[in-house]
Amino acid sequence: MKKKNKFLTSPFWMFGIMFLVVICYFSYIFVFIVLPSDIIIASNFTVLVLKTLLLIFPTLILIGFANKIFSIVTISDDGIHKALFGHFFKQDLLWHEIKDVKVIVRFDNWLFISKTSMNGLKYEQLQKNKKILQMSGRPEIYKEIERNTNLKIR
């Protein structure tokens, strides 16, 4: 039986973005549903701006960052698989295909795994490259990668 370990791509981003989105939705509900309409004395423009900031903008952020915060990385004996909700934005890397593993420390440790060398690439270039698998680096993930491959995590 093959061993599979599943990890969230980035718990740090997920909790941070979800916190902000929930606060915005709560504020929207409070301002436009809970408060009596007599208290809200504002122009149509102000109401439109508040609805945009508290409802539309957080929803767009949630949709835009969905792949980064809700994807699940599965590390097995065959390789690494990443997918959003198991069906979208799939990425598969077999262990023999992986040529480079790199860690960059920002607010969170970011682990980049690629089929090609990443020498000389900066953080921004690594983030934009769709062929490079990206995830939050954690000790459990490092151990699984080192257990399955002889590559050094640098």
Q: Residues 47-105: pLDDT tens digits?
A: 888 889 999 999 999 998 888 888 888 888 888 888 887 778 888 888 888 888 888 88
Assess whether 41 and 82 both reside in one domain: no
* Within a domain: 35: yes
Judge whether residue 121 has pLDDT over 50. Answer: yes
Answering whether pTM is above 0.85, one says: no
Give the CA diameter of the chain: 68
pLDDT at 1 > cutoff 60: no
**Residue 81 and residue 19 in one domain:** no
- Among 44, 66, 88, the domain-final residue is 66
Q: Provide the residue type at 83 as one letter.
A: A
Q: 103 and 49, same structural domain?
A: no
2 falls in which pLDDT band (50, 70, 90)?
low
Residues 53 and 20 reside in one and the same domain: yes
Please state, rounded to an integer, the average pLDDT across all residues of the chain. 84
The answer to whether position 82 is within a domain reads yes
Q: Which domain holds residue 115?
A: 77-148
Return the pLDDT at 36: 65
Over the range 28-49, which residues count as b (16 or more CB within 10 Å of their CB) and which as e?
beebeeeeeeeeeeeeeeeeee
pLDDT at residue 19 tops 90: yes
Residue 62 lies in a domain: yes
The tally of domains found in the chain comes to 2
Last residue of a domain, one of 66, 91, 119: 66
Is there a single domain that holds both residue 129 and residue 97? Answer: yes
**Given a cut of 80, is residue 151 above it in pLDDT?**
no
